[in-house]
Every structure is written in C-alpha cells, then in structure tokens.
Chains A and B, each alone.
Chain A
C-alpha cells in the first residue's frame, strides 16, 4: 500500500523539517521528486492516518506544568469516570490500561497550583483518589522512531 516515497517521508523526515519558505520543495529536492509529489504523498499519509500530522514535539513541562496521573476505578464505574475526566480541558491524553490502576491521563496547567486544584476537583467530582507521577527526569534521546515498513 505504501510507495517508496511514502516510506521515505515516514522514516527520514521525523525531525529537522525545513524551516524555510517552501519546506516541501526543499524535501522534494532532497528526494529527487517534485514539490507536488511530496505534498500529495503527505496528504495521502495524513488522510489515511499513517501520520497524525506534520507537527512539533514539545518536551513535557515546556509550556505550563504537566503530570501523569493514575486512578484505580472499579469496572462498573470506569466508563462514567473516564467520560468525566476526558471532559476537563486540562486533560489531553486519557488511556484505559489493563491493571488495578486502569485509568491513566496527562493533565496540563499553567502552574503547579492550578494543576493541584484540577486534581483535587477530579477527586471530588469522581469520588476516587488520584495518583500523580510527574516527570522527574527524561532519559530519552529523541531520534524519532525507525519504522520497519517492509510489509506496510
């Protein structure tokens, strides 16, 4: 399904996206194709959800304060609690996981006080305790993710 151009775009342009007036043309030059080819291929990847976007990756805590939060919710209440939490604008990732701690979300706020207030509000709102595990140190060297696309 994926052509060589798609695969190049997926693997070789996860970082250092050109910051010039015609970045897709710059990429096209690098790959020996036309600007139109690059735009079309990226649009295809985007429309089919192979890429989520051409985006900026921002390390945690650069813009405001964030934390990862876990909650242990009984099965019968999981759906309604999950819906309540997803409704907070301060929550931007909410995942269900297979574990006693079965609800995991990332909360972001402008400052620590606000973040704390949001978690307290969530506890009052849902009736369950939150367990906050903020980032203390980041060990990752972000080189993007080399994808094995042989069978893609």
Chain B
C-alpha cells in the first residue's frame, strides 16, 4: 500500500461523493479544503499515475440503464491455473470485476469471482456459458449468486 499524506486523504474524502457539476470543479474542492487548485489537480494526477486512483469519469448506473441482471459468478479452478484463467475471464466485455479470493472448505470451494451484467436473464445465462466454455475442464464447480436487495452502498469512507 502506497503511503498517502494528509493532503491526499483530504482530497480523496472530499471527492468521494463525486466531482461537483460546476464549471471549475477542482477549484471548488480546493476552496472547500483550503488548498490551491494547482495542488488538488497535481495530487490527483500523481495518485492516478501511481494507480491509487484507477480512473476518473462518469460512473454509470447499470441497473437504471437496463442492465438489471447482475450476477456474482463464482468458480472453482485449479490454483496453478488461476492467473492465466483469471486474466482471460477478466477480459470478457460483460465482466466488470474478476478476482481471485480464498476458498473456505468445505462450504465454499470457489476461488474465482466474476461479476457479470446483462439486460435479460438470457443474456446472463449466455455469459455464464461463455465463461464456462472458456474455463473448459478447469471448471470444477460454479454457482451464480444474484443480489435481491442492496442494503447499503456508500462507496469508500476513509477512517480519520
């Protein structure tokens, strides 16, 4: 984890709810924090270059835009193949997140998680089939977990 100083953290917290929709958003943030606009922009540029900020942009609400079927697909693949297989699955255009996570045997034998999004159940079924085909024999077991309720969604909140 790269060390961030207090100024970086201030900026991260202030931008958590999003950039203001005003003509000079970075100046707006700077004024809120008692910093200069230059400092805000240069810190954000630096954090982006270091990968602390992955990207800045419009964050679409998939659900509202018709992508109402969102499934957390989980797979059990051999550990020795997970890097190679994970990369392949991660590149599929309907996969928004693809992670290697630990198993918890015997109840939870899955080590590969891939979030998929589709407009219809049929789309998602087809996406799951595509992942399954891609994994081939390496796919020892899989499940899909659909969310039924979003109970909380607040994004990052750092601890002060």
Contact = CB atoms under 8 A, between A and B. Distances in A.
B152 interface: yes
A108 B1 CA distance: 14
A3 to B, nearest CB: 14
Contact of A139 (B41, B56, B90): B90
Q: Would you call the interface of chain B mostly helix, strand, loop, or mixed?
A: mixed
Nearest to B111: A136
A137 interface: yes
A92 B154 contact: yes
Given A10-B58, A137-B83, A148-B119, A50 B104 contact: no
Interface residues of B, number: 77
B108 A63 contact: no
A30 interface: no
A104 B70 CA distance: 14
Contacts of B93: 146
A61 B2 CA distance: 10
B61 A51 contact: yes
B142 interface: no
- Sorted nearest first, the 9 A-B pairs with minimum C-beta distance are A53-B18, A139-B90, A139-B86, A137-B100, A94-B152, A96-B149, A94-B151, A15-B55, A133-B101
Contact of A49 (B64, B99, B117): B64
23 contacts: A10-B65, A14-B60, A19-B26, A21-B24, A23-B19, A42-B21, A43-B21, A53-B18, A53-B19, A55-B15, A55-B59, A57-B59, A58-B156, A62-B2, A63-B9, A64-B158, A89-B159, A94-B150, A97-B72, A97-B146, A104-B145, A108-B157, A139-B87
